[in-house]
Amino acid sequence: MGRVKIKHPRPKEIDTRSKLLQLMALEMLSLPSWPWTKILMASFRKRCSGSFLLSTSLPSFHHNRDLGGRFFASGWTTSSTGMRQRSSERRWSRSNTVKITFCSSEMARRACSEGLLLFSMSVPPHQIREETYTPLLMCNICYTIEDHSTRQCPCPQGYKVCSECGSRDYTFRECTSPSKHCLHCGQAHSCMAMRCPLRKQALKEKEATARTESTRVANTTYAQAVSPPANEGSAGLNLTALVCVMLAYMVNCAEPGSFQATLSASLAMNGLPDVKLPPNPLSQAIISAITRKMGPVQGNENKSSTAECTPHSRTADGLAVEDEDED
């Protein structure tokens, strides 16, 4: 059974209050596409200063249609026995915000996209914000905030500190002290309490960072999302091109004049643009420059292959000249 706290500016005027409740009993409380949830009159089981309780009838529908909302007002929370007011120590601040908890995430998303009809008032989607949980990193040994986890705590084994009273002799499990002492700010509350100024500041900074990151991701265009980084893959492409040049040189050693054709075919097979080189390039100079960058050649096989790939000599202009013995 959902509960709603209703305030009236003149609570002592009984007739005015009754008219207000009767008027609100005729209104709707539902999502725009589910107009069957009615607000009904309820007996006043508890009287508060300037406030009365009103029950809402939530009929049983299919799981994907049931509203199933729980409503929270300033200083109040729901429980199995109905509405109760929190103690003065944990009382919430006065706010004009209504917090609704749905029984499924689907209805929450529809409320954020379609809006709500609340007491005959249309709440547009841009006024509805989904509440997100932002966890704080805290060590359960020394209770440091946003510094390290429990497993990475630098405190020695057997270190004890009470999160309730701040004593160094025992932990919170053995604490019997009636007074509270915060380890962070020194005020009279537990260091785990969210009303601690240091915890509030850490949470505010973490939420601001999360909002900035979400805004940056939301403003990213499709082209920026699918395009790789500028330097990504450059090393792999350079290595592929070098291998193609080396292959063309080795084939040209066996079949002189085939350097350009072999190089073009190798580049095309690897998706690289074609490069036009002279008909008979200085293959020996190219392979020497490559081997100098890649380091010394190791192994007897590399030496023998290099020796086998030099069947001819070169003139000053770089043209290959066959040995006289072969003529």
Tell me the pLDDT band of 314, cut-offs 50, 70 and 90. Answer: very low
pLDDT band at 259 (very low <50, low <70, confident <90, very high): confident
Give the separation between CA 88 and CA 241, rounded to whole angstroms: 74
Average pLDDT, integer, range 38-59: 38
Token pair in block for residue 141: 């040994």
What is the average pLDDT score of the chain?
66
Whether residue 75 is predicted with pLDDT greater than 50 in this model: the reply is no
Report the pLDDT value the prediction gives residue 16, as an integer from 0 to 100.
Answer: 56
User: Do residues 202 and 145 touch, judged by C-beta distance below 8 A?
Assistant: yes
Residues of the chain with pLDDT > 90, as a percent, come to 8
Mean pLDDT of 277-295: 62
Quick one: pLDDT band at residue 290, thresholds 50, 70, 90? low
Query: Residues 85-139: pLDDT tens digits?
Result: 444 444 545 566 777 777 778 888 888 888 877 666 778 888 888 777 888 899 9
What does residue 99 show for φ and ψ, rounded to 5 degrees? Answer: -100, 125
pLDDT number for residue 143: 92
pTM summary value: 0.39
Chain length of the chain: 327
pLDDT given for residue 234 in this prediction: 55
Residue 242 pLDDT greater than 60, yes or no: yes
Q: What number is the average pLDDT over the span 295-300?
A: 47
Higher pLDDT, 44 or 6: 6
Tell me the domain boundaries of the chain: 2-127, 133-202, 235-321
Residue written as token pair 């009287």: 47
Who contacts 323 (Cβ-Cβ below 8 Å, separation ≥6)?
312, 313
At 18, is the pLDDT very low, low, confident or very high (cuts 50, 70, 90)?
A: low
CA gap 170, 180 in Å, rounded: 14
pLDDT for residue 288: 67
Helices vs strands, H then E, count in the chain: 8, 11
Among 3-12, 39-48, 273-282, the range scoring the smallest mean pLDDT is 39-48
Q: State the Cα–Cα distance between residues 286 and 284, nearest whole angstrom.
A: 5
Task: Name the residue with higher pLDDT: 16 or 238.
Answer: 238
Q: Give the separation between CA 30 and CA 110, rounded to whole angstroms.
A: 12
Torsion from C-alpha of 294, 299, 301, 307, nearest 10 degrees:
70
